[in-house]
Structure 1
Amino acid sequence: MSPKSWLRSFHTAPDPASRPVQLVCFPHAGGSAGYFVPLSAQLSGVSEVLAVQYPGRQDRWHEPAIDDLGELAEHVVRALGPARNGGPLALFGHSMGALVAYEVARRLAPARLFVSACPAPSRGVEATEGIRDDADLIADVRRLNGTDTGLLSDPAMLELILPALRADYHAVRTYEWHPGSEPCCPVRVLTGSRDSDTPPHVVRDWKRHTTGECRFHEYEGGHFYLTEHTRRIADLLAADLAPAVR
């Protein structure tokens, strides 16, 4: 797998000579880099936004999906090496992507880590435990309401997207947190007020996973609250990233 295949850029970045913050975004299970196009548009004047494209979807559909979060993190670390612009690095992960971003943060020491809609790594993701087959998997995707229901009702489309979904759910279900070095950067934990997968008791332990400051931010909405509050979240990220460039 070529390192270049892992990262996508959708908008013109600030002048590279200014060494802007690089914000790397990690999508949810079954998601793709394109999910972050709206956020990238909002932040294009502030940072260089890169979105991770996992194999097995969209333009990488012909590649085998990876069903191990640690392996995903290692690939992203390698891909980021030649992509660095010399400026500060920040990571933003949504749902499964938050765990991948966290594992990357343990390896790269970014300036900021933003984790969205995800229990703390040491708690595990209990919502995937009852998923035994494709029917359960599709039902869970419908429950989260982050995927076009038309795609889930189209047998031809399901044939294309199910391999990646199976791999992603397996990666989350089998993820095991191991004690070790933790990110030393500030961590921002974002959740939706109606997201049953991230009640306060499963997200507050994110404070255990940084030696820096940890803050919590709640937005009205469910698991995919981000779609409804892109502007507000972009404002939060921009304000929080500003000190990182000083």
Structure 2
Amino acid sequence: MKLFCIPYAGGSAAIYNQWSSQLIGIAEIIPVELAGRGRRVHEPFYRSFEEVVEDVTSIIVQQLSGDPYAIFGHSLGAILAYETTHKLRSMGYKEPRAVFFSGRSAPHVPDKDEKIVHALPDEEFIQHLVELGGTPPQFFENTELKNLFLPIIRSDFRLSETYSFKERDDKFLCDTYIFYGKQDDNLSGDIKEWDQVCDSACNYFEFDGDHFFIHSHSQSVIEALIKGLNSG
């Protein structure tokens, strides 16, 4: 089985490379690289959420061979996974065997923080990123890294904050797994609102840790992934 992994805001596909060795014989990890970072660093940022969904969908379609596949997305990647799965269905492709939505409230639930983060001045934006976790304050003391990273993550926050949920009559029939951190202050509403966009009951996995539990508790995440991939 192929497991397509979509990164979070500011993340490169490389964040999933370490999973490959632990899923040998279970799934082939295929990290999805978004434009503007990693090996696609010289490509322009996306102009709209629809554009990034089109791009992610095309990347996945190019590697579908009729064999079972699954999709994993964390944070911004979770919403991209949700919209991409719908896009694949609308194009006539078979649904993934499983979809993993990680570190994100259900797509129809409004953000808890109404502040438009992507439009904040640099210093306030950096402070928000530090509070979010995942990026040590020392990182921003390196001017070269800061100048490279800030436009990427600001663009990704713009995509996330301008996302508009569209209610659909057709809901997912595939196995759906929701991963979330017990101490993640960024989640809005009841995490089980994900049930509202899936035909079958979602499978919920709570992890110790904050928004970036996929790194701080990676072994537990791998074990949950394996359980989900093997259940189909």
Q: TM-score, normalised by structure 1?
A: 0.84
- Consecutive unaligned residues of structure 1, counting only runs of 5 or more, are 1-20
Q: How does 1:175-214 map to 2 (within 5 A)?
A: 175-180=163-168, 181-198=170-187, 201-214=189-202
1:54 to 28, 34, 44: 34
Matched, 1:224 2:212: yes
| 1:95–1:118 Cα contact (<8 Å) kept | yes
Partner of 1:18: none
Partner of 2:3: 23
Partner of 2:91: none
TM-aligned CA distance change 1:33 to 1:122, over 3 Å? same
1:124 to 93, 102, 110: 110
Amino acid at match of 2:66: G
TM-aligned CA distance change 1:70 to 1:126, over 3 Å? farther
Distance 1:128 1:164 in 2: 21
Which deviates the most, 23-32 or 222-231? 222-231
The offset of 1:67, in angstroms, is 4.6
Q: TM-score, normalised by structure 2?
A: 0.89
Query: What is the RMSD computed on CA atoms of the aligned residues?
Result: 1.7
| 1:124–1:175 Cα contact (<8 Å) kept | no
Identity of aligned residues (%): 29
- Give every structure 1 segment of 4 or more consecutive aligned residues whose post-TM-superposition deviation is greater than 6 Å: none
The offset of 1:154, in angstroms, is 1.4
Distance 2:36 2:208 in 1: 32
- Consecutive unaligned residues of structure 2, counting only runs of 5 or more, are 89-94
Partner of 1:112: 98
Q: How does 1:106-185 map to 2 (within 5 A)?
A: 106-108=86-88, 109-127=95-113, 129-131=115-117, 132-180=120-168, 181-185=170-174
Distance 1:41 1:142 in 2: 30
Aligned length: 223
Matched, 1:83 2:69: no
| 2:100–2:176 Cα contact (<8 Å) kept | yes
Partner of 1:3: none
